Amino acid sequence: MYNLLYEKWLSVLREDGVYDMIGINDALKEATSLQLAANNPMDRFAAFRFLLTVGYWCYINTEQPPIPGQALPHEWQDWLDKNSQYFELFHDKHRFWQDDNRDRLRPVTDLIHEIPTASNFWHLNHVTDYKDGLCPACCAKGLLRLPIFTTAGGRGIGAGINGTPPFYYIWMGKNLAETIELNWKPEENMGTPAWLLPQSQNESTSLPLLEGLTWTPRKVYLYGPENRGDRCALCGAMAEGLVYSINNDQIKVPDNINWKDPHAIYKKNDAQVNAKMVLMSDKESIFVDMDWYEPVVDLLRYKQHRKEVKIFLLGFTSDKAKFVDVWGKTFTIPTKNPDEDVLYQLHNRLWCINAMRKIPLRGNYRNSVGLTQVADIIPHVENTISSRISDLISGERYNLDDADREYRPLLKKVAASMEANIGILAETSRTKIMYRKPWRKKVKAKFVKEENND
């Protein structure tokens, strides 16, 4: 037996800085003194979204919403205790978020993006299909990821309800209870979460909130667990038993489904914003940078934000079916109106920094060759700048010129390493490198006109 309400499987960070693993019940009970803290941003997001749907489910059955500044309603715990049978991972009858279907046997590693399957080997983590297994806690985390991060799998096996995973975001509070309260947006028609009942295959085009939040594109059944005395291939824990194989069959997303994810970032025309691979160098992905600028700007422009101003942004990059990279970032967003000029520059920031690493002469940009040494320092400096994003957007205390100057100390080192000679020519060449900065994109007349029409 493995009941997700009581077993220790959710990673949290307590107020006093202590890391812990706890069950759903304790997480909700102690939600004012902890944060979800998985080391993988996918799990941090998926676990939060799951606890939010658990909260919605308790709310429709107890009529108790979360109240700002208070612990989560204790009626929620009573309701969960009464319905604990729905949270059994390996029960004979009802298994949490599984479908007893035996058509497509697959290794359990299908559930986790970052461990290799089949012939995809990593240098540091070799995993063999069916020989390496996952502990129940990691299996549960894998199940939570399915509705949000499933990519298309070849041979007609499709992605999830959001298609290619978009940029996701959540408003962040001081603790889990506040984060749930800030993201609380119940609807008239809530529906039933898919971990409770197999999702309906009805003809209706618009999905109730809880069905959409949990709509899963795979029918999964966990075989086992078996005790072979192994460690979990993901977390390394010695569990009583591991799962080595699963049944993993697809469920096609109906064509007519109408769903707008409450945690995805959309542009004004309802188009989803996806994380892309941004190549800093021609066919190499080593200079891929986190493209956080565009989604943050779209979020500020097209989405009202509530009183709390911190967001957790998650970018997931895939190349067709292949999962490439995932990252999470937390930003503080100012409450006052953002500076439109800064937003425009930030929206085009990738173009600007990519141009910076090329030769400093304008006009020959397309054919120019970038300096790898400059590309190498970009992620580091941009990370420093992103920590001042609130000041930058509000135009107070920090502006784009200050951001440009963040490059100076490291560019000085780059210049010295590239031009070590003595003499006026070397000095001139060093100066040219040292004073590089991201180019500013000229404001296009068309863009300004569009904005004025709003």
- DSSP string for residues in 355-424: HHTS-S-TT-TTT----HHHHHHHHHHHHHHHTTHHHHHHTSS--HHHHHHTTHHHHHHHHHHH----SH
Q: Where do runs of H (alpha helix) occur along 97-135?
A: none
| Site stretch for Zn ion (CB under 5 A), options 134-142, 183-191, 217-225, 274-282 | 134-142
Residues that bind Zn ion (rule: CB under 5 A) add up to a total of: 6
3-state helix, strand, coil in the chain (%, to 5): 35, 15, 50
Q: For residue 202, what are the contacts with CB-CB under 8 A and spacing of at least 6?
A: none
Q: How far is the CB of 324 from Zn ion (least distance, A)?
A: 23
Q: How far is the CB of 223 from Zn ion (least distance, A)?
A: 16
**Radius of gyration (C-alpha) of the chain in whole angstroms:** 24
- Residue 290 binds Zn ion (CB under 5 A): no
Q: How far is the CB of 317 from Zn ion (least distance, A)?
A: 24
Q: Considering only CA atoms, which of 305, 261, 259, 263 is closest in space to residue 169?
A: 263
Q: How far is the CB of 122 from Zn ion (least distance, A)?
A: 17
Please say which residue, 141 or 436, places its beta carbon nearer to Zn ion.
141
Q: Considering only CA atoms, which of 27, 1, 29 is closest in space to residue 13?
A: 27
Binds Zn ion (CB under 5 A): choice among 4, 10, 51, 135? 135
- Residue 138 binds Zn ion (CB under 5 A): yes
∠ CA 235-241-243, rounded to 5°: 70
Residues 304-323 that bind Zn ion (CB under 5 A): none
- What distance separates the 2 farthest-apart alpha carbons in the chain? 81
Please say which residue, 142 or 166, places its beta carbon nearer to Zn ion.
142
* Separation of alpha carbons 315 and 327, rounded Å: 5
Q: How far is the CB of 133 from Zn ion (least distance, A)?
A: 9
Please say which residue, 31 or 243, places its beta carbon nearer to Zn ion.
243
| Site stretch for Zn ion (CB under 5 A), options 132-140, 223-231, 338-346, 360-368 | 132-140
- Residue 89 binds Zn ion (CB under 5 A): no
Q: For residue 327, what are the contacts with CB-CB under 8 A and spacing of at least 6?
A: 41, 290, 314, 315
Residues 364-423 that bind Zn ion (CB under 5 A): none
Binding mask 177-216 for Zn ion (x = CB under 5 A): ----------------------------------------
Binds Zn ion (CB under 5 A): choice among 37, 190, 235, 426? 235
Q: Considering only CA atoms, which of 186, 213, 210, 184 is closest in space to residue 66?
A: 184
- Residue 234 binds Zn ion (CB under 5 A): yes
Please say which residue, 156 or 236, places its beta carbon nearer to Zn ion.
236
- DSSP string for residues in 220-257: EEE---B--SPBPTTT--B-S-BB-EEEEEE-PPPTT-
| Site stretch for Zn ion (CB under 5 A), options 230-238, 241-249, 335-343, 431-439 | 230-238
Please say which residue, 243 or 342, places its beta carbon nearer to Zn ion.
243
Binds Zn ion (CB under 5 A): choice among 148, 180, 222, 232? 232
- Residue 350 binds Zn ion (CB under 5 A): no
Encoded amino acid at 87, one letter:
F
Please say which residue, 237 or 377, places its beta carbon nearer to Zn ion.
237
Please say which residue, 136 or 328, places its beta carbon nearer to Zn ion.
136
Binding mask 237-276 for Zn ion (x = CB under 5 A): x---------------------------------------
| Site stretch for Zn ion (CB under 5 A), options 225-233, 278-286, 333-341, 422-430 | 225-233
Please say which residue, 88 or 132, places its beta carbon nearer to Zn ion.
132
Q: How far is the CB of 134 from Zn ion (least distance, A)?
A: 6
Cis bond before residue 262 (omega within 30° of 0): no
Burial group, residue 242, by CB count within 10 angstroms (0-12, 13-18, 19+)? buried
Catalog residues that contact Zn ion under the rule CB under 5 A. 135, 138, 232, 234-235, 237
